[in-house]
Amino acid sequence: MPYTDPKNWNYAIGYGVASTSPLSPSFNFSLELARNTQLIASFYQHLVVQRRIKNPFEDDQVVGITNYIDLGFELATGIDKSKPAENGSNSLFQLGASWQANKNFLLKVK
């Protein structure tokens, strides 16, 4: 059974530093153990951007749109000593970003 084998589980802990206002940036830190073979540390800054869009059909109506942007990086390293790395290094550094334009559209890049 795949759910009873602890080698198939991921464990994570996260901590967020909130700001005094929902529109101010906040920070997220996390540490994850993935399948008992990889340790991943990540740091992301969460930004909220509000835009005012004029309704083209109504001259006096302005609509507020809120976008959410996350920028950060991840550092992953292998901790399973029984599996040697293919390229001589078992660490990976990558940048990441996400942009939520509205409630229906989310773009993520790593």
pTM of the model: 0.64
Amino acid making up residue 66:
T
Please list the pLDDT of the chain residue by residue as tens digits (110 residues). 556 666 677 889 998 887 777 677 788 899 999 878 889 999 999 888 887 877 777 777 777 778 889 999 999 998 876 666 565 567 889 999 999 887 788 898 98
List the domain boundaries for the chain. Answer: 6-109
3-state helix, strand, coil in the chain (%, to 5): 5, 60, 35
